[in-house]
Amino acid sequence: MLVALSQRTCEEQRYKERRDCLDQEWGRLLGRLGCQMIALPNSATDPLALLDRLQPDALILTGGSDPLPESAPDAERNRLEGTMLSWAERHGRSVVGICRGMQAINQRLGGRVRPVNGHVAASHKVSTASGASLLVNSFHDFGIGRADLASELEPLLWGSDDTVEAASHSARPITCLMWHPERTIAEPERQQAILKAILSGQPLKAALA
């Protein structure tokens, strides 16, 4: 399976360069899952043509930076991720949004994000409607309440403060996770099995069972 990933943008002040950045742990994690990966450049002049040439089996909108779709610092990334979502819909490919990726997907579908407290560098339990739980990490200043979630997304996991921690699209193979599976996390084998399943197009609800 070939997985295409978006990247955050960062400024290298010493060299006055604008760079794309991706945690190397993504390569290690996807390698353990038996996947090949390609990091997509935010500066691609024709990202649609690039995706047509690569034909990835799945796409990941990664985390990092604040979820502000119209912000100038992330303008290139926002355009790229919008193209990734459009391409995936056209070709029926699976999409996974991680943290900021989840927030960006929610906003593009008409939802909102809001500031949250106690979600940075903190592990916590998330629960399903049936009461099953999963221990996840947390690295975000913005979250999604039930009322903030886009109507096309179904909430599947919640935090103790009632923020939505995972959701899936009602009609398309889009899964959103607020935690970072590429970082240190509890129950790594279970977490990796969940990620592999949803990258392969399995619904998150089934992957959690």
CB of 194 within 8 A of CB of 208? yes
Higher pLDDT, 85 or 123: 85
For residues 115 and 17, give the distance between their C-alpha atoms in angstroms, rounded to a whole number: 30
Domain boundaries, the chain: 2-208
Picking from 179, 182, 4, the residue whose alpha carbon sits closest to that of residue 95 is 4
- The CATH topology of domain 2-208 is Rossmann fold (3.40.50)
State the DSSP code for 54. H
Residue ranges of alpha helices (H) inside 19-158 are 25-32, 47-54, 75-91, 100-108
Over the stretch 69-107, which tens digit does the pLDDT of each residue have? 556 668 899 999 999 999 999 999 999 999 999 999 999
Over the stretch 48-71, which tens digit does the pLDDT of each residue have? 999 999 999 999 999 988 766 556
Global pTM reads 0.94
Q: What is the pLDDT of residue 35?
A: 97
